[in-house]
Structure 1
Amino acid sequence: MFVLAELEDTVKIVPNDFGKNDNDAVTDALNVKYANKVVQEVGLCICVHDILSTSEGFILYGDGCSYIKATFRLTVFRPFVGEVLTGRIKSCSPNGVKVTMGFFDDIHIPGATLQPGSEFDPAEQVWVWNYDGEKLYMDIDEPIRFRVLREIFTDTTPTLHPTGGGGGSSGRRHSVADLSASNDLVANSIKIPPYALTCTIQEDGLGLLSWWGS
Protein backbone atom coordinates (compact mmCIF):
# COMPACT_ATOMS: atom_id res chain seq x y z
CA MET A 1 0.00 0.00 0.00
CA PHE A 2 2.83 2.40 0.86
CA VAL A 3 6.07 2.49 -1.12
CA LEU A 4 9.24 4.58 -1.23
CA ALA A 5 9.79 6.65 -4.37
CA GLU A 6 13.12 8.29 -5.18
CA LEU A 7 12.95 11.76 -6.76
CA GLU A 8 15.22 14.69 -7.47
CA ASP A 9 14.29 18.36 -7.23
CA THR A 10 15.77 21.81 -6.64
CA VAL A 11 14.52 23.27 -3.38
CA LYS A 12 14.12 26.93 -2.53
CA ILE A 13 15.16 27.82 1.03
CA VAL A 14 13.90 31.21 2.21
CA PRO A 15 16.10 33.40 4.44
CA ASN A 16 13.91 32.74 7.49
CA ASP A 17 15.04 29.09 7.34
CA PHE A 18 18.77 29.79 7.09
CA GLY A 19 19.08 29.06 10.82
CA LYS A 20 18.10 25.42 10.24
CA ASN A 21 20.63 22.82 9.16
CA ASP A 22 20.43 22.01 5.44
CA ASN A 23 18.78 18.61 5.94
CA ASP A 24 15.93 20.01 8.08
CA ALA A 25 15.42 23.02 5.81
CA VAL A 26 15.28 20.84 2.68
CA THR A 27 12.94 18.32 4.35
CA ASP A 28 10.53 21.05 5.48
CA ALA A 29 10.49 22.68 2.03
CA LEU A 30 9.91 19.36 0.28
CA ASN A 31 7.06 18.43 2.64
CA VAL A 32 5.35 21.76 1.91
CA LYS A 33 5.70 21.11 -1.82
CA TYR A 34 4.84 17.41 -2.04
CA ALA A 35 2.77 16.32 0.97
CA ASN A 36 -0.78 15.38 -0.07
CA LYS A 37 0.05 15.98 -3.75
CA VAL A 38 -0.08 13.45 -6.58
CA VAL A 39 3.02 12.91 -8.70
CA GLN A 40 2.15 11.39 -12.06
CA GLU A 41 3.05 7.69 -12.32
CA VAL A 42 4.34 7.80 -8.74
CA GLY A 43 1.28 8.13 -6.48
CA LEU A 44 -0.08 10.19 -3.61
CA CYS A 45 2.84 11.65 -1.65
CA ILE A 46 2.52 11.40 2.12
CA CYS A 47 5.79 12.86 3.43
CA VAL A 48 9.55 12.89 2.96
CA HIS A 49 11.13 9.65 4.19
CA ASP A 50 14.76 10.73 3.99
CA ILE A 51 17.25 12.89 2.10
CA LEU A 52 19.79 10.90 0.10
CA SER A 53 22.03 13.75 -1.06
CA THR A 54 22.13 17.52 -1.44
CA SER A 55 24.24 19.96 -3.42
CA GLU A 56 25.86 23.15 -2.19
CA GLY A 57 23.32 25.95 -1.97
CA PHE A 58 23.50 28.84 -4.39
CA ILE A 59 21.88 32.27 -4.18
CA LEU A 60 20.45 34.05 -7.20
CA TYR A 61 21.27 37.72 -7.66
CA GLY A 62 18.50 39.93 -6.32
CA ASP A 63 16.61 36.97 -4.84
CA GLY A 64 18.17 36.29 -1.45
CA CYS A 65 16.93 32.69 -1.28
CA SER A 66 19.18 29.64 -1.31
CA TYR A 67 18.60 26.90 -3.91
CA ILE A 68 19.69 23.34 -3.14
CA LYS A 69 19.45 20.36 -5.48
CA ALA A 70 18.29 17.32 -3.50
CA THR A 71 17.82 13.62 -4.12
CA PHE A 72 15.27 12.23 -1.68
CA ARG A 73 12.75 9.49 -0.98
CA LEU A 74 9.05 10.03 -0.41
CA THR A 75 6.58 7.79 1.38
CA VAL A 76 3.90 7.30 -1.27
CA PHE A 77 0.44 5.74 -1.25
CA ARG A 78 0.28 3.51 -4.31
CA PRO A 79 -1.35 0.09 -3.87
CA PHE A 80 -0.37 -2.55 -6.40
CA VAL A 81 -2.97 -4.06 -8.73
CA GLY A 82 -4.44 -7.10 -6.99
CA GLU A 83 -3.79 -5.78 -3.48
CA VAL A 84 -6.61 -6.14 -0.94
CA LEU A 85 -7.39 -3.02 1.12
CA THR A 86 -9.94 -2.00 3.72
CA GLY A 87 -11.79 1.32 3.81
CA ARG A 88 -15.24 2.70 4.52
CA ILE A 89 -18.17 3.36 2.21
CA LYS A 90 -18.34 7.08 1.49
CA SER A 91 -21.30 7.18 -0.91
CA CYS A 92 -23.41 5.08 -3.26
CA SER A 93 -24.89 5.88 -6.65
CA PRO A 94 -26.32 3.86 -9.55
CA ASN A 95 -22.78 3.83 -10.97
CA GLY A 96 -21.31 2.03 -7.98
CA VAL A 97 -19.80 2.54 -4.55
CA LYS A 98 -17.26 5.19 -3.54
CA VAL A 99 -14.85 4.26 -0.76
CA THR A 100 -12.63 6.36 1.48
CA MET A 101 -9.54 5.41 3.44
CA GLY A 102 -9.64 8.63 5.45
CA PHE A 103 -6.70 10.24 3.65
CA PHE A 104 -7.70 9.10 0.13
CA ASP A 105 -11.22 9.21 -1.32
CA ASP A 106 -10.85 8.45 -5.02
CA ILE A 107 -11.68 4.75 -4.82
CA HIS A 108 -14.52 3.50 -7.01
CA ILE A 109 -16.19 0.09 -7.07
CA PRO A 110 -18.36 0.00 -10.23
CA GLY A 111 -21.74 -1.70 -10.03
CA ALA A 112 -20.50 -4.41 -12.40
CA THR A 113 -17.74 -5.41 -9.95
CA LEU A 114 -19.98 -5.76 -6.88
CA GLN A 115 -21.08 -9.18 -5.62
CA PRO A 116 -23.34 -11.02 -8.11
CA GLY A 117 -26.99 -10.28 -7.32
CA SER A 118 -26.30 -6.74 -6.13
CA GLU A 119 -28.70 -3.96 -7.09
CA PHE A 120 -29.08 -0.28 -6.32
CA ASP A 121 -31.98 0.70 -4.04
CA PRO A 122 -33.08 4.20 -5.21
CA ALA A 123 -35.25 4.72 -2.11
CA GLU A 124 -32.41 4.04 0.34
CA GLN A 125 -29.69 5.32 -2.03
CA VAL A 126 -27.48 2.34 -1.23
CA TRP A 127 -26.50 -0.92 -2.92
CA VAL A 128 -28.03 -4.17 -1.71
CA TRP A 129 -26.58 -7.65 -2.09
CA ASN A 130 -29.36 -10.22 -2.50
CA TYR A 131 -27.86 -13.34 -0.94
CA ASP A 132 -29.86 -16.51 -0.26
CA GLY A 133 -33.09 -14.55 0.09
CA GLU A 134 -31.54 -11.95 2.40
CA LYS A 135 -31.00 -8.30 1.61
CA LEU A 136 -27.57 -7.17 2.78
CA TYR A 137 -27.44 -3.37 2.67
CA MET A 138 -24.17 -1.57 1.93
CA ASP A 139 -24.73 1.34 4.31
CA ILE A 140 -22.66 4.52 4.39
CA ASP A 141 -19.57 4.41 6.66
CA GLU A 142 -19.55 0.60 6.84
CA PRO A 143 -16.06 -0.98 6.73
CA ILE A 144 -15.47 -2.67 3.38
CA ARG A 145 -12.73 -4.90 2.01
CA PHE A 146 -11.90 -4.64 -1.70
CA ARG A 147 -9.31 -5.60 -4.30
CA VAL A 148 -7.57 -3.12 -6.60
CA LEU A 149 -8.32 -3.75 -10.29
CA ARG A 150 -6.48 -0.83 -11.86
CA GLU A 151 -5.05 2.60 -11.16
CA ILE A 152 -5.75 5.71 -13.21
CA PHE A 153 -3.41 8.69 -13.43
CA THR A 154 -4.82 11.83 -15.05
CA ASP A 155 -2.56 14.80 -15.72
CA THR A 156 -4.59 17.77 -14.49
CA THR A 157 -1.78 20.26 -15.09
CA PRO A 158 -3.14 23.32 -16.95
CA THR A 159 -2.06 23.54 -20.57
CA LEU A 160 0.52 26.27 -20.93
CA HIS A 161 1.20 28.26 -24.11
CA PRO A 162 4.80 29.46 -23.94
CA THR A 163 5.84 32.27 -26.26
CA GLY A 164 8.87 30.34 -27.34
CA GLY A 165 10.52 26.98 -26.71
CA GLY A 166 9.84 24.61 -23.84
CA GLY A 167 7.02 22.89 -25.68
CA GLY A 168 8.71 19.54 -26.09
CA SER A 169 6.93 16.33 -25.14
CA SER A 170 9.91 14.28 -23.96
CA GLY A 171 9.05 12.45 -20.74
CA ARG A 172 6.43 13.15 -18.12
CA ARG A 173 6.40 16.20 -15.85
CA HIS A 174 8.48 15.80 -12.74
CA SER A 175 5.62 16.69 -10.41
CA VAL A 176 2.17 18.24 -10.35
CA ALA A 177 3.27 19.85 -7.11
CA ASP A 178 4.98 22.57 -9.13
CA LEU A 179 1.61 24.02 -10.11
CA SER A 180 -0.46 22.74 -7.22
CA ALA A 181 -2.73 25.76 -6.82
CA SER A 182 -3.65 25.84 -10.52
CA ASN A 183 -4.00 22.08 -10.62
CA ASP A 184 -6.44 22.09 -7.71
CA LEU A 185 -8.62 24.66 -9.48
CA VAL A 186 -8.64 22.64 -12.70
CA ALA A 187 -9.25 19.31 -10.98
CA ASN A 188 -12.13 20.75 -8.95
CA SER A 189 -13.76 22.35 -12.00
CA ILE A 190 -13.81 19.17 -14.10
CA LYS A 191 -14.09 16.71 -11.19
CA ILE A 192 -11.35 14.43 -12.48
CA PRO A 193 -8.94 13.27 -9.77
CA PRO A 194 -5.24 13.12 -10.65
CA TYR A 195 -5.04 9.62 -9.18
CA ALA A 196 -7.86 7.11 -8.71
CA LEU A 197 -8.39 3.40 -8.08
CA THR A 198 -10.97 1.11 -9.67
CA CYS A 199 -11.71 -1.87 -7.44
CA THR A 200 -13.86 -4.97 -7.04
CA ILE A 201 -15.58 -6.97 -4.30
CA GLN A 202 -16.70 -9.72 -6.66
CA GLU A 203 -15.23 -12.68 -4.77
CA ASP A 204 -15.55 -14.49 -1.45
CA GLY A 205 -14.17 -12.62 1.54
CA LEU A 206 -14.58 -9.20 -0.08
CA GLY A 207 -17.29 -6.69 0.69
CA LEU A 208 -18.56 -5.51 4.08
CA LEU A 209 -16.57 -6.96 6.95
CA SER A 210 -19.85 -7.75 8.72
CA TRP A 211 -20.76 -10.18 5.93
CA TRP A 212 -17.83 -12.44 6.75
CA GLY A 213 -17.68 -11.96 10.52
CA SER A 214 -14.40 -10.01 10.41
Structure 2
Amino acid sequence: MFVLAELKDTIRIAPDQFHLKLVEAIRDEINRKLANKVLLNLGLCIALKDIVSLKDSIILPGDGASHTEVLFRYIVFRPTIGSILTGKIRSCSREGVHVTLGFFDDILIPPSALQHPSRFEEAEQAWVWEYPLEDGAKHDLFMDIGEPIKFRVSREIFEESSPIGPPKTDAQQASTSAAASAAVASSQQTEVKTPYRIVAAINESGLGVLSWWDQQNQGAEEGDENEDEDNIEYENDEDGEGAYEE
Protein backbone atom coordinates (compact mmCIF):
# COMPACT_ATOMS: atom_id res chain seq x y z
CA MET A 1 0.00 0.00 0.00
CA PHE A 2 2.88 2.37 0.77
CA VAL A 3 6.08 2.61 -1.26
CA LEU A 4 9.33 4.50 -0.94
CA ALA A 5 10.03 6.82 -3.86
CA GLU A 6 13.47 8.31 -4.42
CA LEU A 7 13.12 11.90 -5.62
CA LYS A 8 15.42 14.76 -6.48
CA ASP A 9 14.52 18.44 -6.21
CA THR A 10 16.10 21.83 -5.68
CA ILE A 11 14.86 23.19 -2.35
CA ARG A 12 14.67 26.92 -1.73
CA ILE A 13 15.25 28.10 1.85
CA ALA A 14 14.14 31.68 2.54
CA PRO A 15 16.44 33.98 4.56
CA ASP A 16 14.05 33.96 7.55
CA GLN A 17 14.80 30.22 7.92
CA PHE A 18 18.59 30.63 8.08
CA HIS A 19 18.54 30.37 11.87
CA LEU A 20 17.58 26.69 11.53
CA LYS A 21 20.00 23.90 10.76
CA LEU A 22 20.12 23.30 7.01
CA VAL A 23 18.83 19.72 7.24
CA GLU A 24 15.91 20.74 9.46
CA ALA A 25 14.96 23.62 7.18
CA ILE A 26 15.10 21.36 4.12
CA ARG A 27 12.97 18.69 5.85
CA ASP A 28 10.30 21.25 6.72
CA GLU A 29 10.29 22.70 3.22
CA ILE A 30 10.07 19.29 1.50
CA ASN A 31 7.10 18.27 3.66
CA ARG A 32 5.42 21.63 3.12
CA LYS A 33 5.89 21.26 -0.60
CA LEU A 34 4.89 17.61 -1.05
CA ALA A 35 2.80 16.35 1.90
CA ASN A 36 -0.75 15.40 0.83
CA LYS A 37 0.07 16.22 -2.78
CA VAL A 38 -0.35 13.85 -5.74
CA LEU A 39 2.57 13.40 -8.09
CA LEU A 40 1.61 12.25 -11.57
CA ASN A 41 2.17 8.51 -12.09
CA LEU A 42 3.68 8.23 -8.62
CA GLY A 43 0.91 8.50 -6.00
CA LEU A 44 -0.17 10.45 -2.94
CA CYS A 45 2.79 11.83 -0.96
CA ILE A 46 2.52 11.11 2.78
CA ALA A 47 5.73 12.05 4.61
CA LEU A 48 9.49 12.38 4.21
CA LYS A 49 11.43 9.22 5.08
CA ASP A 50 15.01 10.46 4.93
CA ILE A 51 17.47 12.63 3.05
CA VAL A 52 19.96 10.67 0.96
CA SER A 53 22.34 13.43 -0.07
CA LEU A 54 22.76 17.23 -0.21
CA LYS A 55 24.73 19.22 -2.73
CA ASP A 56 26.29 22.61 -2.08
CA SER A 57 23.85 25.43 -1.42
CA ILE A 58 24.00 28.43 -3.73
CA ILE A 59 22.49 31.92 -3.67
CA LEU A 60 21.29 33.17 -7.02
CA PRO A 61 21.74 36.81 -8.10
CA GLY A 62 18.80 38.95 -7.03
CA ASP A 63 17.52 36.27 -4.62
CA GLY A 64 18.66 36.16 -1.00
CA ALA A 65 17.42 32.58 -0.50
CA SER A 66 19.64 29.52 -0.67
CA HIS A 67 19.04 26.79 -3.25
CA THR A 68 20.12 23.21 -2.53
CA GLU A 69 19.82 20.16 -4.74
CA VAL A 70 18.50 17.35 -2.54
CA LEU A 71 18.14 13.60 -3.12
CA PHE A 72 15.59 12.16 -0.70
CA ARG A 73 13.18 9.29 -0.12
CA TYR A 74 9.47 9.95 0.36
CA ILE A 75 6.66 7.68 1.60
CA VAL A 76 3.98 7.47 -1.09
CA PHE A 77 0.55 5.89 -1.03
CA ARG A 78 0.08 3.76 -4.13
CA PRO A 79 -1.46 0.31 -3.59
CA THR A 80 -0.56 -2.38 -6.10
CA ILE A 81 -3.20 -3.64 -8.52
CA GLY A 82 -4.87 -6.70 -7.02
CA SER A 83 -4.11 -5.82 -3.39
CA ILE A 84 -6.92 -6.05 -0.81
CA LEU A 85 -7.61 -3.07 1.46
CA THR A 86 -10.18 -2.26 4.15
CA GLY A 87 -11.88 1.14 4.28
CA LYS A 88 -15.23 2.67 5.17
CA ILE A 89 -18.19 3.53 2.96
CA ARG A 90 -18.22 7.31 2.49
CA SER A 91 -21.35 7.57 0.35
CA CYS A 92 -23.37 5.80 -2.33
CA SER A 93 -24.64 7.06 -5.66
CA ARG A 94 -25.69 5.63 -8.99
CA GLU A 95 -22.02 5.78 -9.97
CA GLY A 96 -21.27 3.18 -7.31
CA VAL A 97 -19.98 2.96 -3.74
CA HIS A 98 -17.52 5.67 -2.64
CA VAL A 99 -14.96 4.47 -0.09
CA THR A 100 -12.53 6.33 2.16
CA LEU A 101 -9.37 5.20 3.92
CA GLY A 102 -9.41 8.23 6.21
CA PHE A 103 -6.51 9.95 4.47
CA PHE A 104 -7.60 9.09 0.90
CA ASP A 105 -11.19 9.46 -0.34
CA ASP A 106 -11.06 8.95 -4.10
CA ILE A 107 -11.97 5.25 -4.23
CA LEU A 108 -14.95 4.09 -6.30
CA ILE A 109 -16.55 0.66 -6.58
CA PRO A 110 -18.64 0.84 -9.80
CA PRO A 111 -21.97 -1.05 -10.07
CA SER A 112 -20.43 -3.68 -12.36
CA ALA A 113 -17.90 -4.55 -9.62
CA LEU A 114 -20.47 -5.00 -6.82
CA GLN A 115 -21.83 -8.32 -5.62
CA HIS A 116 -24.40 -9.64 -8.11
CA PRO A 117 -27.28 -8.96 -8.13
CA SER A 118 -27.26 -5.51 -6.52
CA ARG A 119 -29.64 -2.56 -6.80
CA PHE A 120 -29.55 1.11 -5.82
CA GLU A 121 -32.17 2.32 -3.34
CA GLU A 122 -32.98 5.97 -4.08
CA ALA A 123 -34.81 6.52 -0.77
CA GLU A 124 -31.96 5.12 1.33
CA GLN A 125 -29.20 6.33 -1.01
CA ALA A 126 -27.54 2.97 -0.56
CA TRP A 127 -26.63 -0.04 -2.65
CA VAL A 128 -28.23 -3.35 -1.69
CA TRP A 129 -26.92 -6.85 -2.36
CA GLU A 130 -29.84 -9.21 -3.03
CA TYR A 131 -28.33 -12.23 -1.32
CA PRO A 132 -29.96 -15.47 -2.59
CA LEU A 133 -31.31 -17.90 0.04
CA GLU A 134 -31.63 -21.67 -0.27
CA ASP A 135 -35.43 -21.52 -0.66
CA GLY A 136 -35.11 -19.22 -3.68
CA ALA A 137 -35.93 -16.03 -1.76
CA LYS A 138 -33.58 -13.07 -1.42
CA HIS A 139 -32.24 -11.29 1.65
CA ASP A 140 -31.33 -7.59 1.31
CA LEU A 141 -27.85 -6.70 2.57
CA PHE A 142 -27.41 -2.91 2.70
CA MET A 143 -24.17 -1.03 2.13
CA ASP A 144 -24.65 1.71 4.73
CA ILE A 145 -22.48 4.80 5.21
CA GLY A 146 -19.71 4.26 7.75
CA GLU A 147 -19.66 0.47 7.37
CA PRO A 148 -16.18 -1.12 7.12
CA ILE A 149 -15.72 -2.67 3.68
CA LYS A 150 -13.02 -4.89 2.22
CA PHE A 151 -12.21 -4.39 -1.47
CA ARG A 152 -9.69 -5.31 -4.13
CA VAL A 153 -7.83 -2.63 -6.10
CA SER A 154 -8.59 -3.25 -9.78
CA ARG A 155 -7.41 -0.07 -11.49
CA GLU A 156 -5.75 3.29 -10.86
CA ILE A 157 -6.31 6.50 -12.79
CA PHE A 158 -3.90 9.44 -12.93
CA GLU A 159 -5.04 12.70 -14.51
CA GLU A 160 -2.93 15.77 -14.98
CA SER A 161 -4.71 18.64 -13.24
CA SER A 162 -3.83 22.22 -14.08
CA PRO A 163 -5.03 25.53 -12.58
CA ILE A 164 -8.23 26.90 -14.10
CA GLY A 165 -7.00 30.48 -13.88
CA PRO A 166 -7.22 33.28 -11.31
CA PRO A 167 -10.67 34.45 -10.13
CA LYS A 168 -12.17 37.42 -11.89
CA THR A 169 -11.97 40.88 -10.32
CA ASP A 170 -15.07 42.80 -9.25
CA ALA A 171 -14.81 45.07 -12.28
CA GLN A 172 -14.65 42.11 -14.66
CA GLN A 173 -17.57 40.44 -12.97
CA ALA A 174 -19.65 43.61 -13.20
CA SER A 175 -19.01 43.82 -16.93
CA THR A 176 -20.42 40.38 -17.59
CA SER A 177 -24.02 39.33 -17.45
CA ALA A 178 -25.41 36.96 -14.83
CA ALA A 179 -25.93 34.28 -17.44
CA ALA A 180 -22.36 34.51 -18.67
CA SER A 181 -21.01 34.35 -15.12
CA ALA A 182 -23.06 31.24 -14.39
CA ALA A 183 -21.78 29.60 -17.56
CA VAL A 184 -18.17 30.38 -16.67
CA ALA A 185 -18.60 29.01 -13.14
CA SER A 186 -20.19 25.86 -14.49
CA SER A 187 -17.41 25.29 -17.02
CA GLN A 188 -14.76 25.83 -14.35
CA GLN A 189 -16.35 23.24 -12.11
CA THR A 190 -16.39 20.67 -14.89
CA GLU A 191 -12.71 21.34 -15.58
CA VAL A 192 -11.66 20.37 -12.06
CA LYS A 193 -10.11 16.91 -12.21
CA THR A 194 -9.15 14.41 -9.54
CA PRO A 195 -5.41 13.80 -9.99
CA TYR A 196 -5.42 10.26 -8.57
CA ARG A 197 -8.33 7.82 -8.31
CA ILE A 198 -8.66 4.15 -7.46
CA VAL A 199 -11.27 1.85 -8.99
CA ALA A 200 -12.04 -1.16 -6.81
CA ALA A 201 -14.16 -4.32 -6.82
CA ILE A 202 -15.97 -6.50 -4.25
CA ASN A 203 -17.62 -9.05 -6.56
CA GLU A 204 -15.93 -12.11 -5.08
CA SER A 205 -16.27 -14.22 -1.98
CA GLY A 206 -14.92 -12.69 1.24
CA LEU A 207 -15.04 -9.11 -0.04
CA GLY A 208 -17.65 -6.48 0.75
CA VAL A 209 -19.11 -5.17 3.99
CA LEU A 210 -17.38 -6.96 6.88
CA SER A 211 -20.61 -7.47 8.83
CA TRP A 212 -21.95 -9.68 6.00
CA TRP A 213 -19.30 -12.31 6.58
CA ASP A 214 -19.38 -11.91 10.37
CA GLN A 215 -23.06 -12.84 10.32
CA GLN A 216 -22.37 -15.87 8.13
CA ASN A 217 -19.53 -17.03 10.38
CA GLN A 218 -21.72 -16.67 13.46
CA GLY A 219 -24.45 -18.67 11.75
CA ALA A 220 -21.98 -21.42 10.86
CA GLU A 221 -20.69 -21.58 14.44
CA GLU A 222 -24.24 -21.80 15.81
CA GLY A 223 -24.95 -24.61 13.35
CA ASP A 224 -21.88 -26.53 14.55
CA GLU A 225 -22.98 -26.11 18.18
CA ASN A 226 -26.43 -27.45 17.37
CA GLU A 227 -24.90 -30.49 15.66
CA ASP A 228 -22.77 -31.19 18.74
CA GLU A 229 -25.86 -31.01 20.95
CA ASP A 230 -27.69 -33.46 18.67
CA ASN A 231 -24.85 -35.97 19.07
CA ILE A 232 -25.25 -36.06 22.88
CA GLU A 233 -27.45 -38.93 24.11
CA TYR A 234 -29.18 -39.05 27.46
CA GLU A 235 -29.17 -42.45 29.26
CA ASN A 236 -30.36 -43.65 32.67
CA ASP A 237 -28.00 -45.64 34.85
CA GLU A 238 -29.02 -48.43 37.25
CA ASP A 239 -29.72 -46.00 40.09
CA GLY A 240 -32.14 -44.06 37.92
CA GLU A 241 -29.81 -41.07 37.60
CA GLY A 242 -29.29 -39.52 34.27
CA ALA A 243 -25.95 -39.54 32.52
CA TYR A 244 -24.87 -37.76 29.36
CA GLU A 245 -22.76 -39.70 26.89
CA GLU A 246 -21.43 -38.64 23.58
- Does the TM-score normalized on the shorter chain lie above 0.5? yes
Other-structure match for 2:153: 148
User: Which 4+ residue blocks in structure 1 deviate beyond 3 angstroms?
Assistant: 186-189
Other-structure match for 2:29: 29
Other-structure match for 1:203: 204
Alignment of 1:89-108 (within 5 A): 89-108=89-108
One-letter code aligned to 1:138: M
Q: 1:75 to 1:60 in 2, by over 3 A?
A: same
Whole-Å separation in 2 of the counterparts to 1:37 and 1:95: 25
List runs of 5+ in structure 2 lacking aligned partners. 133-137, 166-186, 218-246
Number of aligned residue pairs: 189
One-letter code aligned to 1:199: A
Bigger Rg over Cα:
2
Say if 2:164 and 2:191, in contact at 8 Å, map to a contact too. no
One-letter code aligned to 2:159: T
Say if 2:161 and 2:192, in contact at 8 Å, map to a contact too. no
Q: 1:30 to 1:210 in 2, by over 3 A?
A: same
RMSD: 1.9
**Length-normalised TM-score, structure 1:** 0.84
Other-structure match for 2:11: 11
Whole-Å separation in 2 of the counterparts to 1:47 and 1:35: 6
One-letter code aligned to 1:140: I
Measured after TM superposition, the shift of residue 192 of structure 1 is 2.2
List runs of 5+ in structure 1 lacking aligned partners. 161-185
Structure having the larger proportion of residues in helix? 2
Measured after TM superposition, the shift of residue 150 of structure 1 is 0.7
Q: 1:66 to 1:188 in 2, by over 3 A?
A: farther
One-letter code aligned to 1:111: P
Whole-Å separation in 2 of the counterparts to 1:31 and 1:68: 15
Whole-Å separation in 1 of the counterparts to 2:110 and 2:58: 51
Say if 2:164 and 2:188, in contact at 8 Å, map to a contact too. no
Whole-Å separation in 1 of the counterparts to 2:195 and 2:210: 29
